[in-house]
Amino acid sequence: MTHYSKPHLTYLEQIKLLQSRGLIIDDIQYASLKLKHISYYRLSAYFLPFYEKENIFIKGTTFDEIIDVYHFDKELRNLTFSAIEKIEIFLRTSIAYNFSKKFDVFGYTKKENFCMKNMDGFSWLIKDVKKESNRTKETFVKHFKSTYTQENLPIWMVVEIISFGSLSKLYSLLCPDIEKEILNGIELSSLVFRNWLHLFSYIRNISAHHSRLWNRQFVIKAKIPKHKKEFKNMLNDRYITVAILINYILNAIEDTLDYKNELIVLFDKYPNINLKNMGFVNDWQNLTVWNNEGKK
């Protein structure tokens, strides 16, 4: 192990350090303002693709280029988060509706209403719901507790207070008949859809915590549906895959967001961004997979 010895640097010292590494900075005042608002450490994640070798920028790289990538990535995160939120709300609604229709509004408290190989999943769910029920400040929860005698919240309240990650885990415990109702029109296998939810939860967290989506190879790999030829040979760890999966689900649930077009608008706004390292090859918008309506 090495002793950490990096000292505090003023904004001007940070700029001089970047210049010593070959980064072109024409406007010192502008650079100081950006470092004040964003921080050197956060921007450093965007330095890496511009390095020729360790801590040495490719000749001709400018500070403005890196800031452009940063702002592009910020807008990409916002668009991604918004799209996944639509899928998330659909899932919350569909689970509550179909589960309460099959059982009753408190049916989630009974392990016999779930299908899982390991009962630890059910125990974890109940503990998580209890924790969120006690922690939440939502008015509808306070009203329920002060009005009704039941200790447990109804399922449609539960799905609103648990995280997307917890919602995905709840989904993984569902029995095939309920899952079939939720997947009606989406036309994906249980295995594939559960993987996509896990991936969406992961991407959502990256977006929510303002981490980088651009030029990122994702740890969680997407499962590619084998019965759909248009998905053949698709990358499973780049942003283009995430975008295609999001677009597929939005089409399947008949959401009004035209995700593909929103991406085109964003890419046109930032024409100098390298899209190849996100998996977007030439003529990417004409790939057959974008035209899939999610119901075939």
pLDDT tens digits for the chain (296 residues)?
888 888 999 999 999 999 999 999 999 999 999 999 999 999 999 999 999 999 999 999 999 999 999 999 999 999 999 999 999 999 999 999 999 999 999 999 999 999 877 668 889 999 999 999 999 999 999 999 999 999 999 999 999 999 998 998 899 999 999 999 999 989 899 999 999 999 999 999 999 988 999 999 999 999 998 888 888 878 889 999 999 999 999 999 999 999 999 999 999 999 999 999 899 988 898 888 887 544 43
Rounded to 10 deg, the angle between the 239-252 and 259-269 helix axes is: 140
* CB count in 10 Å sphere of residue 227: 9
Token pair for residue 175?
A: 């029995």
Q: How far is CA 88 from CA 33, 83, 95, 148, 246, in A?
A: 37, 9, 11, 28, 11
Domain boundaries, the chain: 11-61, 70-291
How is the chain split among helix, strand and coil, in percent rounded to 5?
A: 60, 0, 35
Of 104, 74, 116, residue with least CA distance to 210: 74
pTM for the full model?
Answer: 0.90
Q: Are 86 and 257 in contact (CB under 8 A)?
A: yes
* Alpha helix positions (H), 115-258: 120-135, 139-147, 155-161, 164-172, 176-182, 190-208, 239-252
Of 208, 136, 115, residue with least CA distance to 165: 208
According to DSSP, the residues that pair with 43 across neighbouring strands are none
Q: How far apart are CA 98 and CA 106, in angstroms?
A: 13
Q: Are 77 and 85 in contact (CB under 8 A)?
A: no
Of 98, 94, 100, residue with least CA distance to 155: 100
Q: Are 84 and 200 in contact (CB under 8 A)?
A: yes
Q: Any residues with CB less than 8 A from the CB of 197 and at least 6 apart, and which?
A: 91, 168, 171
